[in-house]
Structure 1
Amino acid sequence: MTTVTLKGNAFETVGSLPAVGSAAPAFELVKTDLSVASLADYEGQKLVLNIFPSVDTPTCATSVRKFNESAAALKDVNVMCVSADLPFAAGRFCGAEGIDNVDMGSTFRSTFGADYGLSFTTGPLKGLLSRSVVIIDESGKVLYTEQVAETADEPNYDAALAALA
């Protein structure tokens, strides 16, 4: 269990992020076209998991935009933005914003939040995901993790991008 805050109020998550150097937990997420993406689909390439509560909030939307911009310049790196948003909402957001360099993955049919230790178990965001970044290498090992301590804050983009070098 990890404690993070939302506007200074403490809330718990179901567990902790996977340890750096460990094998990333397998996952299946539903993309905007309703196809299923799995960790195995990204084997041989680095993968950035940009995880957040909902694309319908300003900070979450900003993280998608920033990783979309960064991803365009990265070779052999994929970015998967992960939330409990339905694929239709994620697709609508990407279409309206011109987002085309990242994949969007919905957890609505998966155990991703529990497997990665990120589902809120208390507070108004209970059932949604804690804002985090997980970077996975070409062989499925965790290279970098950040669970943002204050949910309203953005992740450390520079540190995440440096981990890809």
Structure 2
Amino acid sequence: MAIVTLKGNKLNTIGNLPKTGASAPDFTLTKSDLSTASLSNYKGKKVVLNIFPSIDTGTCAQSVRQFNQEAAELDNTIVLCVSKDLPFAQARFCGAEGIKNVEMLSDFKDGNFGDSYGLAFADGPLAPLHSRSVVVLNEEGKVIYTEQVSETVDEPNYKAALEALLDA
């Protein structure tokens, strides 16, 4: 289990992020139109998993905006923004913000994504939401970069995640 903080207060996650070089765990998540998506839908593309507790917080919303802006310039790359928010809330946010370069996916049905990626909060006020994390995959679905943000209210290291894509 990993330890992160929320405004300085320690929180535990249920496990650890996948290791660099490992195959990313498969997933089934819900799209904004209520259809399903799995990792296999993105085979052959580089994937940035931007994972966060809720789109209705400032830092989470900013991470989606930032990756949306950055993703517009990336070749053969998709940014998947994953939370436990309902698909309706995710769609509302993207519509209001003009977000078009990322795909929103929800883990609201069973939480298996948060469990298999080891990033669901195990305790504290945000349990069982997802801890703020970034996982980058190459075209073969291998993990090439991970970051679990140590302080939940902080933004991820966008530059490091995007540089991992360029090095892949």
Cross-structure match for 1:45: 45
Letter in structure 2 aligned against 1:85: D
Q: What are the residue-to-residue correspondences of 1:3-82 with 2, within 5 Å?
A: 3-82=3-82
Corresponding residue of 2:127: 126
Superposition deviation, residue 35 in structure 1:
1.1
Deviations 1:54-97 (A, max 9, x none): 00000000000000000100010000000000000000000000
Give TM-score, length-normalised by structure 2. 0.97
**Which amino acid is 1:44 matched to?**
G
| Structure-2 residue corresponding to 1:164 | 165
> What is the alpha-carbon distance in structure 1 between the residues aligned to residue 109 and residue 141 of structure 2?
22
**CA positional deviation for 1:136:** 0.7
Aligned residues: CA RMSD: 0.5
Q: C-alpha displacement at 1:44, in angstroms?
A: 0.4
In structure 1, distance between residues paired with 2:12 and 2:57: 20
Unaligned runs of 5+ in 2: none
Aligned-residue offset at 1:46? 0.3
Inter-partner Cα distance in structure 2 for 1:142 and 1:82: 16
- For residues 6 and 155 of structure 2, the distance between their equivalents in structure 1, rounded to whole angstroms, comes to 12
**One-letter amino acid matched to 1:100:** K
Letter in 2 for 1:131: R
Cα drift, residue 102 of structure 1: 0.3
SS at match of 1:4: strand
CA distance in structure 2 between the aligned counterparts of 1:145 and 1:121, rounded to whole angstroms: 20
Unaligned runs of 5+ in 1: none
The Cα of 1:30 is off from its aligned counterpart by 0.4
Shift of 1:109: 1.8
Counterpart AA for 1:42:
Y
> Which residue number corresponds to residue 105 of structure 2?
105
1:99 to partner: Cα distance = 0.3
Percent identical residues = 63
Misfit runs of 4+, over 4 Å: none
The aligned counterpart of 2:136 is 135
Query: AA paired with 1:40?
Result: S
